[in-house]
Chain A
Amino acid sequence: MSEMNKNEALLPVENEKEMFEFANADKTLHDTKFETKPISYLHDCLRRFAKNKASVVAGIIILLIVLFAIFEPLVDPKSYVTGSDYVNGYRDSNFKNATPYNPLFKGTGFWDGTAVISNMKENTYNIRKLTDLENPNRPYIVELLEVNEEGGIFNKQKNYVVRVDTYAVGNLTEIISTSEYEKLLEYNEAQPDDQKVLKPLVDVNTYLEKARAKLEAEGVDASAISQLIDGTSGMKQYYQDNPSIYFEIYPVKGSNGRYTTTYEAVLDNSRKPINIYMTDENGDYIYAMKQNADYEVRVDYIEYYKFKNGFDPVFLFGCNSQGQDICLRLALGCRFSLLLGIGITIINFIIGLIWGAISGYYGGTADLIMERITDILSNVPSIIIMTIVQIQLNNNLALNQALGAVGCIVVAFLIAFVYNGWVGVSSTTRMQFYRFKGQEYVLASRTLGARDSRLIFKHILPNAAGTLVTSCVLMVPSVIFSESNLSYLGIIDFSTSNIVSLGAMLNDGQGKLSTYPHILLFPAIVISLLMISFNLFGNGLRDAFNTSLRGSED
């Protein structure tokens, strides 16, 4: 500094040239060059941000979540499955509540698609154990953990604690078109023996007649028989509910000697179940039956799934109660949340900036009135705005058709978040303007005749930029939070559209929390990660932009 002053003093003064003689006339003097590189403000911020390890990690996590949201649905074959059943996204009700499954962990008891059922009845256990004989590749019952005895001497009951494979759907009856049946036959032919899709059809009706005759022969009265066979918990219904059962079942006698509606398998002399497969006149099993233009087939569902969709049923994060893949939905939910969060932040930022700048710069009456307006706006609950906009949009047919189901929800969110979302930005901007507008450099500029717009955009805003950008970044998680809050409370009806929201996923999972916690676990983790990393990232930015902290951290 002192060096420079000396140099300036040595510069020639023009009009009094003659009076002075140049001391160093033969030399040109220059400022000594800095040996270090100059650091711009942004560069400095970036350097200080990089020093903050937590914020950098948070930034990386945000980046990973963004990449997950963009690429998961592009890579996931499930998002390309189309069909009339999948209007609101891919689902397979056979895999409802399936637990997280990663093929790498198969058989470890963790992340392998199994669940522990703690109150399986003895009969159910025995029957499931027998049905597993038909699907040795993927048995439903993986492991018997414990047997508990319940009740007194007369009504002793065994309760089984069992680890079951939630992906072992078993064998189901499907009706498929002729062309598909031909393709299936071809596919089935090419499969190795232990992975055949088609299973012999089961002839339940013939067996039910046999059972009826047997019951009659035992002298059971007619009303009891019709209840046991055709009743709401009769054998017919039982076969329908458990299409995997391919053998004879028979009612069990209760303690009073009467038949009850619990069933057990009929075993032959070698303690094997007696199958009731449909046979033709040669005694061969029948694998398909023509019904009009379609075929009725009985398939091993996991193999059939591979045939139908071309990929294995693997749900990394499990499925929800409607059989939708949680991993895919998480990616879609992140997409929606991030887009909504960023979009709304930008809109709110622009409105809040303009509003706060005017209110802060001009002050006085304008400020007072504008402050009252923000006061009022911020006190009207957004829940009600949301509800009203949604109902009005749904009732207005023309608008509803123009926007579509997705548009209606997006517009409802936009209005509900924008109408008072900018209040925070505006008050921050206002404070910044109050802080800077009275400072000397602004006064100097004003004295030199700078216009208001120049003062606002060239002198005050750049100084406030750091604080404003930080508040902007911190607004993204708050929008995501409110969105998930509102959709968790069920204020927004997502069922009509294919929008996936993290909050709605939480809402799905809440009812199943006691039995299938994974439905809630993953959206909860993702939303927490989003919130934590955005907050850390924002705090890092705030510290980085705050030049007054420079040097204080070292």
Chain B
Amino acid sequence: MRDTKSTLIYILKRLCLMIVTFVIIFTICFFLIRLLPLKFSPGPGDSEYIFYEIQVALGRYTKGSNGEYYQTPLLQQFFTFVKNLFAPASYPNGDGTYTQVSRFGYAWSSAIGYMVSPVEVLFNRMPPTIFINVYSIIISTPIGLLLGIYMALRKNKWQDHALSIFVMLLISVPGFVYAFFLQYLLGYANGGILPPTLEDRNEYGWFSPEMLSSMVLPVIAMSLGSIAGFARYTRAELTEVLTSDFMLLARTKGLTRAQATVRHAFRNSLVPIFPMILGQIISVLSGSVVIEQIFAVGGVGSLFLDSINNSDYDVFQFVGMFYVVIGLVGGLVVDISYGLVDPRIRMGGGKQ
């Protein structure tokens, strides 16, 4: 009972700290992105008027007495932004009626869209990222764990050495390098076995064979790194557990090597590995900028890059904060999960 209470207090404390951190990062990012010059892009049709009126409503421009627009000071922009979050502003249509502006502002660039709210943009870009990440986790976790177990059981034999070199290569070589090699060898060379870039999502369904086959390359490219990470970590943990005394006890009690390994060693070595898997699952929502760029995925990662390159303030703010929240929540969940998996670890325990 006391333990639950202290856990709750710890979580609450962490949450409060998290909120403070978030607010500060939010403020810093706000000012940083607005130091970039706003790019005027009129968008389709006669929307110059709407563009400027929306900027006024969002607080980025102020309308002068002669109808000219000039930039609002940054601090004032910040207050308007915060105010808009709670009470969405509206802009005049010119005929006396008003249209409400999205709470989080609007995307306004050719790469992202015109007059689309960042929430909509993010949800629109989410599916390819999620699909690729989920497939990659489904593939990489079991393979990585199995490889790690195999290496630990064959420690210091040739299989272990060979796999260790392979794992070391995968960890050291930058992800984009093997992404390129995969893309060239499987996508381009000799006519290509697989599509080198992701198929158009408007043309094919998410589960159509064309789409699935075009996802193979990015999924492999994403998986290789985490397979190597899992394998190395599992090997290190398992070799440590395998040499401990309780394993000897288990063997003396008459368990076979396989039984002892699966029931005692592997379960114990999962303690530090499980949070790692959990961290992966949380990061499903955020995409790898580089891999998405190489395979033309058009997911969340490339949205982040697009928003910076086009100084699309609102999209950057929203997507950036989305990343930050995932990072912060992920860290918290991983920390808490340590306590859940292994009761010996007490969160927020004293300094002793």
- The residues of A with any CB-CB pair to B shorter than 8 Å are 372, 375-376, 379-381, 383-385, 387-388, 391-392, 395, 477, 481, 484-485, 488-489, 491, 506, 510, 513-514, 517, 520, 524, 527-528, 531-532, 535-536
Tell me the bound Cα distance from A444 to B226 in angstroms.
46
Taking a contact as CB atoms closer than 8 A, the residue among A491, A506, A514 that contacts B196 in the complex is: A514
Stretch from B21-29, B55-63, B275-283 forming part of the interface with A: B21-29
B29 touches A384 (CB 8 A): yes
- List chain B residues, Cβ under 8 A from A395: 37
B289 touches A489 (CB 8 A): yes
Tell me the bound Cα distance from A395 to B36 in angstroms.
10
Tell yes or no: B174 within 8 A of A by CB. yes
Tell me the bound Cα distance from A392 to B37 in angstroms.
9
A146 to chain B, nearest CB (A): 14
- List chain A residues, Cβ under 8 A from B25: 376, 379-380
B177 touches A524 (CB 8 A): yes
B36 touches A387 (CB 8 A): yes
Chain B, range 168-198, C-beta contacts under 8 Å to A: 168-169, 171-174, 176-177, 180-181, 183-184, 187-189, 196
Contacts A376-B25, A392-B35 given; indicate if A531 touches B176 (C-beta within 8 A): no
Tell yes or no: B258 within 8 A of A by CB. no
A554 to chain B, nearest CB (A): 13
A532 touches B172 (CB 8 A): yes
Tell yes or no: B52 within 8 A of A by CB. no
Can you report 25 A-B residue pairs in the complex whose CB atoms are below 8 A from each other?
A375-B21, A379-B25, A379-B328, A380-B29, A381-B304, A383-B289, A383-B304, A388-B32, A391-B36, A395-B37, A477-B172, A489-B289, A506-B180, A510-B180, A510-B294, A513-B180, A513-B184, A514-B188, A517-B189, A527-B177, A531-B174, A532-B168, A532-B172, A535-B172, A536-B168
B331 to chain A, nearest CB (A): 9
Tell yes or no: B340 within 8 A of A by CB. no
Tell me the bound Cα distance from A253 to B171 in angstroms.
60
Closest A residue to B34 by CB, please name it: A388
Tell yes or no: B305 within 8 A of A by CB. yes
Interface residues of A, dominant DSSP? helix
* 4 tightest A-B CB contacts, nearest first: A514-B188, A532-B172, A535-B172, A528-B173
Tell yes or no: B341 within 8 A of A by CB. no
B327 touches A379 (CB 8 A): yes
B305 touches A383 (CB 8 A): yes
Closest B residue to A539 by CB, please name it: B168
Tell me the bound Cα distance from A347 to B24 in angstroms.
26
Tell me the bound Cα distance from A517 to B196 in angstroms.
14
B176 touches A532 (CB 8 A): no
B188 to chain A, nearest CB (A): 4
Tell me the bound Cα distance from A481 to B176 in angstroms.
10
Contacts A387-B36, A387-B308 given; indicate if A524 touches B24 (C-beta within 8 A): no
Contacts A527-B174, A528-B172 given; indicate if A385 touches B32 (C-beta within 8 A): yes
Stretch from B97-105, B117-125, B126-134, B316-324 forming part of the interface with A: B316-324
Taking a contact as CB atoms closer than 8 A, the residue among B20, B21, B180, B289 that contacts A524 in the complex is: B180
Task: Specify which of A391, A395, A524 lies most central, judged by the most chain B CB atoms within 10 Å of its CB.
Answer: A524
Number of B interface residues in the complex (CB < 8 A): 42
Tell me the bound Cα distance from A387 to B308 in angstroms.
8
Contacts A489-B290, A513-B188, A532-B168 given; indicate if A380 touches B32 (C-beta within 8 A): yes
Closest B residue to A513 by CB, please name it: B184
A380 touches B172 (CB 8 A): no
Contacts A372-B17, A380-B29, A383-B305 given; indicate if A391 touches B294 (C-beta within 8 A): no
Taking a contact as CB atoms closer than 8 A, the residue among B168, B180, B316, B324 that contacts A379 in the complex is: B324
A419 to chain B, nearest CB (A): 11
A372 touches B21 (CB 8 A): yes
Contacts A506-B180, A524-B180 given; indicate if A488 touches B290 (C-beta within 8 A): yes
Tell me the bound Cα distance from A485 to B294 in angstroms.
12
Task: Specify which of B17, B20, B172, B304 lies most central, judged by the most chain A CB atoms within 10 Å of its CB.
Answer: B172
B184 touches A488 (CB 8 A): no
- List chain B residues, Cβ under 8 A from A488: 176, 290, 293
B189 to chain A, nearest CB (A): 8
- List chain B residues, Cβ under 8 A from A491: 308
- List chain A residues, Cβ under 8 A from B216: none
- List chain B residues, Cβ under 8 A from A527: 174, 177
Taking a contact as CB atoms closer than 8 A, the residue among B176, B184, B289, B316 that contacts A517 in the complex is: B184
Tell me the bound Cα distance from A380 to B30 in angstroms.
11
Taking a contact as CB atoms closer than 8 A, the residue among B21, B169, B172, B180 that contacts A376 in the complex is: B21
- List chain A residues, Cβ under 8 A from B21: 372, 375-376, 379
Tell me the bound Cα distance from A428 to B289 in angstroms.
28
B174 touches A384 (CB 8 A): no
B183 touches A513 (CB 8 A): yes
Tell me the bound Cα distance from A538 to B196 in angstroms.
35
Tell me the bound Cα distance from A531 to B178 in angstroms.
13
Tell yes or no: B33 within 8 A of A by CB. yes
Tell me the bound Cα distance from A477 to B173 in angstroms.
10
Chain B, range 4-44, C-beta contacts under 8 Å to A: 17, 20-21, 24-25, 28-29, 32-33, 35-37
A384 touches B32 (CB 8 A): yes
- List chain A residues, Cβ under 8 A from B290: 485, 488-489
Closest B residue to A525 by CB, please name it: B177
Tell me the bound Cα distance from A485 to B188 in angstroms.
23
- List chain A residues, Cβ under 8 A from B171: 535
- List chain B residues, Cβ under 8 A from A383: 289, 304-305, 308
Tell me the bound Cα distance from A131 to B28 in angstroms.
64
Tell me the bound Cα distance from A485 to B293 in angstroms.
11
- List chain B residues, Cβ under 8 A from A489: 289-290, 293, 305
Task: Specify which of A380, A385, A484 lies most central, judged by the most chain B CB atoms within 10 Å of its CB.
Answer: A380
- List chain B residues, Cβ under 8 A from A535: 168, 171-172
B259 to chain A, nearest CB (A): 29
B36 touches A485 (CB 8 A): no
Tell me the bound Cα distance from A477 to B168 in angstroms.
14
Interface string of B192-207 (1 = CB under 8 A from A): 0000100000000000
Interface string of B294-317 (1 = CB under 8 A from A): 100000000011001100000010
Besides the known contacts A372-B21, A379-B324, A532-B172, 12 further A-B residue pairs in the complex with CB atoms under 8 A apart: A384-B32, A384-B33, A384-B308, A385-B32, A506-B176, A513-B180, A517-B188, A517-B189, A520-B184, A532-B173, A535-B172, A536-B172
B36 touches A388 (CB 8 A): yes
- List chain A residues, Cβ under 8 A from B168: 532, 535-536
B222 to chain A, nearest CB (A): 15
Contacts A384-B33, A489-B305 given; indicate if A528 touches B174 (C-beta within 8 A): yes
- List chain B residues, Cβ under 8 A from A510: 180, 294
Tell me the bound Cα distance from A551 to B21 in angstroms.
46
- List chain B residues, Cβ under 8 A from A477: 172
- List chain B residues, Cβ under 8 A from A536: 168, 172
- List chain B residues, Cβ under 8 A from A372: 17, 20-21
- List chain B residues, Cβ under 8 A from A387: 36, 308-309
B172 touches A384 (CB 8 A): no
Tell me the bound Cα distance from A387 to B313 in angstroms.
13
Task: Specify which of B17, B20, B173, B327 lies most central, judged by the most chain A CB atoms within 10 Å of its CB.
Answer: B173
- List chain A residues, Cβ under 8 A from B196: 514
A399 to chain B, nearest CB (A): 15
Closest B residue to A371 by CB, please name it: B17
